[in-house]
């Protein structure tokens, strides 16, 4: 299991970003959340197997959201064993 925190920058609020990410997450064996930040970025935290997490993040980059993303920053974070599901915060 691995966990990553990703900060998406660009026009990522007000375009259905978090809802799309939640829908995409349903197709992968991952858990986590997406939330808007006051500075206009979206924070995503995701955990699962390395293969599932990487595939999920790639699916976000290849989705219709791509034109809205100007930059993303990925950081490793600690796995939270009890985490279940994927939510919008």
Q: What is the pLDDT of residues 49-88, one digit of tens each?
A: 999 999 999 999 999 999 999 999 999 999 999 999 999 9
Contacts of 37 (CB under 8 A, 6+ apart): 7, 43
Check residue 43 and give its pLDDT: 98
* Mean per-residue pLDDT of the chain: 96
**pLDDT band (50, 70, 90) for residue 28:** very high
Q: 29 in a domain, yes or no?
A: yes
Mind telling me the catalytic residues? 18, 36
CATH code for position 71? 3.30.70.100
39: which DSSP letter?
T
Pair 3, 42: CB distance under 8 Å:
no
Contacts of 61 (CB under 8 A, 6+ apart): 69, 72
Calpha distance 83→89 (Å, rounded) = 14
Q: Which domain holds residue 17?
A: 2-79
User: What's the total number of domains in the chain?
Assistant: 1
Q: 84 in a domain, yes or no?
A: no
């Amino acid at each position: 299991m691995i966990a990553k925190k990703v900060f998406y920058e660009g026009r990522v609020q007000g375009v259905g970003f978090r809802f799309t990410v939640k829908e995409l997450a349903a197709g992968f064996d991952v858990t986590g959340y997406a939330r808007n930040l006051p500075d206009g970025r979206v924070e995503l935290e995701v955990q699962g197997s390395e293969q599932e997490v990487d595939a999920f993040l790639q699916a976000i980059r290849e989705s219709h959201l791509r034109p809205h993303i100007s930059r993303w920053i990925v950081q490793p974070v600690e796995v939270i064993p009890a985490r279940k599901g994927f939510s919008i915060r």
